[in-house]
Amino acid sequence: MSPDFLSGIRFTDLTWAGAGPFGTKVFSDFGAEVLKIESMSRPDPVRRGGPFKDGVAGTNRSGYFASRNTGKRSISLDLKNPEGREIALRLIAQSDVVSNNFGPGAMERLGLTYDEVRAVKPDIIYLSMPMYGEDGPLSTLLGVGMTIAAVTGLMWMTGYGRGEKPLGPGTHYPDHAANPYHAAFAVLAALRYRRHTGRGMKIDLSQVESTANFVGASILEASVHDREPEHTGNRSRRDAPHNVFRCAGEDAWCAIAVESDTEWLALAATIGRQDLAARPELRKAAGRLAATEELEAAVTAWTRAHGAVEAGTILQNAGVPAARVSSARDLVEEDTQLAARGYWQTLEHPEMGPSLFTAPPFTIDGERVELRRPPLFGEHTQEVLTGLLGMSDAEIAELAERKILA
């Protein structure tokens, strides 16, 4: 399916790293023109962070950068130079949205505050995504995905027991889930509002507040019961067995999540432990929780004799929620469901060659949105400055010579 849903919307996109570029990628994947502004003095840091295709480092070879910038157009422009700033303002004057996820004070230093931008584009939608928001006692602090997970309590809630160190969610979760999508929702709402009223607006998205929205029931428990939720690792506070269990093979695991008395009886029968099913105290969740260690040992004795996929399939067929614990390689190479639904898309990249990308996680009228490849650094500078701003080749060459377009 051709990604033309948001055709006619233009971003001057100053975002970098994770959350910001992922938020604007939502628009570029659906046909908006997203002009990604960066310079070699301030490149998007994930360009240099990898992982790199075939292990070969390069400005245009980062898989992380590629995955977060599909469909965008790259313009090399030194915003710290006054002439570079003026070019940026000319681009903004022909844009619908200007976006940044810089730390506090950065846009002021660049001379690109909301008021300065609004002077050239009165109905602009201005997205700002600092860690804490633009006001309040902590608004001057900087942060990234891991620190945001820490200060919002997300990291505190993931661990195996009191006294053990917090584990965190295993990735910069705020960068990949909460913050980019909240930003995209806010911009879509602002675009709709402007269509009806003609008014632009400033969106001040606090990444901490955005992530706190994903914390969920733990905040309610703390506020209602005045206590912290117990750290349970992969166990449940309500039922058992509920954990990941080692299977046959190297580092192979199966997740099993019993959540009802019926599922428990099905599990006991499947693993051949009718003796456990017959014990009256194990017919209810409270009794099973009290016997967690014993039940987990019984389940492990069974799973160790089966491969992870096999164990999951047998239990699923018996009505027990279970699944292999998949690695990234498993998802790419062996997940038949993702493959059957066309979730993976291969795009030809000038430097990386054929490269695998994740599609938007839905179909529309049964079709996938077709991704467009990510840009090379500065790939569209000439095209945009001539086509959009009417600059001559000689002007562009002179600016490039003076490192303003670099």
Residue-wise pLDDT for 101-158, tens only, equals: 999 999 999 999 999 999 999 999 999 999 999 999 999 999 999 999 999 988 888 8
Residue 76 phi, psi dihedral angles, 5° rounding: -85, 120
pLDDT confidence tier of residue 167, bands split at 50, 70 and 90 = confident
What global pTM score does this model have? 0.94
In this predicted model, what pLDDT tens digit does every residue of 66-97 receive, in sequence order? 999 999 999 999 999 999 999 999 999 999 99
Q: In the prediction, which pLDDT does 169 show? A: 80
Domain boundaries, the chain: 10-214+342-401, 242-331
pLDDT at residue 215 in the model: 84
Instruction: Name the active-site residue from 13, 29, 78, 175.
Output: 175
CA 195/CA 190 separation, integer angstroms = 9
Average pLDDT of span 180-208: 98
Residue 234 has pLDDT above 80, yes or no: yes
Tokens 């999540």 found at:
257
Mean pLDDT, residues 219-247: 89
CB atoms near residue 296 (< 10 Å): 17
DSSP state of 65: H
Q: Can you say whether residue 56 is alpha, beta or left, with left for phi > 0 and alpha for psi between -120 and 50 degrees? A: beta
Could you give the dihedral angle defined by the CA atoms of residues 253, 259, 261 and 265, in that order, rounded to the nearest 10 degrees?
A: -20
Pairing between strand 201-204 and 125-128? Answer: parallel
Which pLDDT does position 42 carry in this prediction? 84
- Identify the three-state secondary structure at position 44: coil
Which pLDDT value is given to residue 298? Answer: 98
- 3 pLDDT band, cuts 50/70/90, is confident
Start-to-end Cα distance in the chain? 35
Structure tokens at 53: 């295709």
Cα–Cα distance measured from residue 200 to residue 217, given in angstroms and rounded to the nearest whole number: 35
Burial of 263 (C-beta count, 10 Å sphere; 0-12/13-18/19+): buried
In three-state secondary structure terms, 111 is: coil
Please determine whether the domains at 10-214+342-401 and 242-331 fall in the same fold group of CATH.
Answer: no
pLDDT over 90 percentage in the chain: 87
Mean pLDDT of the chain: 95
CATH fold, domain 10-214+342-401, is Rossmann fold (3.40.50)
Please report the pLDDT score of residue 317 as a whole number.
98
The residue type found at 309 is: V
Write out the DSSP string of 259-279.
-SHHHHHHHHHHTT-HHHHT-
Give yes or no for residue 221 having a pLDDT over 90.
no
Contact 70/29 with Cβ under 8 angstroms?
Answer: yes
Q: Let me know if 175 is a catalytic residue.
A: yes
Tell me the mean pLDDT in the region 230-241.
91
Question: Which residues, 6 or more positions from 346, have their beta carbon under 8 angstroms from its beta carbon?
Answer: 354, 355, 356, 357
Q: How confident is the model at residue 23 (pLDDT cuts 50, 70, 90)?
A: very high
Topology of the domain comprising 242-331: formyl-coa transferase, domain 3 (3.30.1540)
pLDDT at 216: 77
Q: Kindly compute the dihedral angle of the four CA atoms of residues 324, 330, 331, 333, in this order, to the nearest 10 degrees.
A: -140
Peptide bond into 43 cis (omega under 30): no
